[in-house]
């Protein structure tokens, strides 16, 4: 038996935890470089702000009514970890699905509904994050239950009010579940995107119930095994297991769009060094090493009148490593001749690939399987964990608090939980 717990309007809710003046106000959170809305409070949705809408396309009269914040992923990641700690303490098996969603295994529990209600209340009380819970015998039905739990609160009349907040589809009668599936548009199902929605509409399938009762073999032939698996899960047949251990990554990519176009090769080089340093941190956190490194740089494709250039280079390491110094040395080699004179670059990145666990590699009698100094890197990571990211690093990154290539974040809130100087202050 599965449950899916999901933070409501998670990014916006994180902002409101430490800024009570934002509660009840229309609030949007912007993407990197303050481009478009990636999170909206219910009040902002009611005003007509759509997901992904560019900030400059929101009418000025409407923009004046909005509270606007730049994405603060450091804050959101820490708040997600706090929610995750509560979930790990509550149940034995948890699968983090995204920054604001987790699947839980409720199989050992008898009174799942009361447990879910208590857990929902505990998460909100301890973290300030409002949330909803869906329960079902399959992951797809648990995800659907979460959608129903949210919709019953946000859109009265869309689903029975008794399912608001927590919706246990496993406890419903066959007839009640059938009514819910008939009331759910097929595009609301987990994994059914725009293209599949259009194709399903074309063959007369518009609701979750119609998908569940469609001829199985015909559906598999037309859409493949993935949608056929969704259909079986809607019928209560578990096809997707809980992954409580994160599978190993095949590659790690760190890239950013710059806040402004950059034509200085040294500035682009500092950006690539910063991205490489961050990628190595992620690599070591997962206990992996990389055998190859790639870099890329791109100009602004939305400005066709400007000189365009999209370049990338990649090369293997002499031996797999997670040592930032060695990977930075290769990044420095790769960026030689990468950039073109007269071009202003808008985006760059570093990726590490051919990843493996060090103990799975075998050297020969004279050469170790990996290279670098793991103890030195572990010390660097420990210092940065204790005192904050970039407390200790390498000079190749430029070591500037606000580099020319940095992102635009004109509406950035403080990092209330991860930076001592940003701790909330309470007046006496």
Q: What is the pLDDT of residue 399?
A: 72
Q: Which residue has the tokens 């603060």?
A: 72
Q: How far apart are the first and last CA of the chain?
A: 49
Whether residue 319 contacts residue 362, with contact meaning beta carbons closer than 8 Å, is answered with no
pLDDT, mean of each 10-residue run, the chain (428 residues): 95 94 94 90 93 92 93 92 94 92 92 94 96 96 96 92 94 94 94 90 93 91 90 92 74 90 90 93 93 94 89 92 94 91 92 89 72 90 82 80 77 83 72
Q: What is the pLDDT of residue 352?
A: 95
pTM of the shown model? 0.82
Indicate the SS3 state at residue 116. Answer: helix
Nearest to 322 by CA among 345, 293, 363, 364: 293
Rounded (10°) CA dihedral 113, 115, 121, 122 = -170
Indicate the SS3 state at residue 313. Answer: strand
Whether residue 84 contacts residue 102, with contact meaning beta carbons closer than 8 Å, is answered with yes
């Amino acid at each position: 038996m599965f449950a899916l717990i999901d933070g409501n309007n998670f990014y916006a809710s994180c902002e409101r935890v430490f800024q009570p003046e934002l509660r009840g106000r229309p609030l949007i959170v912007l993407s990197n470089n303050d481009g478009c809305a990636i999170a909206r409070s219910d009040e902002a949705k009611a005003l007509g702000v759509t997901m992904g809408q560019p900030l400059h396309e929101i009418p000025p009269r409407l923009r004046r009514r909005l509270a606007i914040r730049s994405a603060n992923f450091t804050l959101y990641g820490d708040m997600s970890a706090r929610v995750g700690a509560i979930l790990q303490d509550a149940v034995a098996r948890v699968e983090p699905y995204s920054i604001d969603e987790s699947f839980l295994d409720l199989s050992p529990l008898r009174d799942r509904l009361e447990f879910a209600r208590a857990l929902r209340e505990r998460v909100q009380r301890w973290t300030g994050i409002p949330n909803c819970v869906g329960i079902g015998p399959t992951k797809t039905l648990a995800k659907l239950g979460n959608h129903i739990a949210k919709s019953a609160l946000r859109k009265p009349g869309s689903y029975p009010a008794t399912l608001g907040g927590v919706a246990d589809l496993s406890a419903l009668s066959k007839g009640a579940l059938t009514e819910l599936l008939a009331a759910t548009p097929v595009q609301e199902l987990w994994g059914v995107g725009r293209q599949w929605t259009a194709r399903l509409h074309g063959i007369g399938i518009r609701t979750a119930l119609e998908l569940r009762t469609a001829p199985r073999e015909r559906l598999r032939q037309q859409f493949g095994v993935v949608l056929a698996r969704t259909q079986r899960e809607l019928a209560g047949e578990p096809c997707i297991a809980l992954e409580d251990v994160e599978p190993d990554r095949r590659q790690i990519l760190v890239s950013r769009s710059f806040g402004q176009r950059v034509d200085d090769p040294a500035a682009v080089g500092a950006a690539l060094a910063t991205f490489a340093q961050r990628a190595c941190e992620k690599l070591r956190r997962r206990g992996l090493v990389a055998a190859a490194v790639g870099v890329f740089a791109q100009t602004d494709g939305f400005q066709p009148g400007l000189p365009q250039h999209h370049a990338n280079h990649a090369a293997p390491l002499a031996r797999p490593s997670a040592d930032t110094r060695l990977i930075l040395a290769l990044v420095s080699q790769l960026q030689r001749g990468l950039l073109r004179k007269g071009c202003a670059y808008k985006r760059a990145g570093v990726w590490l690939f051919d990843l493996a666990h060090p103990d799975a590699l075998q050297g020969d009698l004279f050469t170790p399987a990996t290279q670098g100094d793991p103890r030195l890197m572990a010390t660097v990571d420990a210092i940065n964990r204790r005192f904050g990211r970039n407390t200790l690093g390498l000079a190749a990154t430029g070591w500037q608090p606000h580099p020319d290539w940095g992102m635009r974040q004109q509406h950035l809130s403080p990092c209330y939980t991860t930076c001592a100087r940003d701790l909330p202050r309470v007046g006496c």
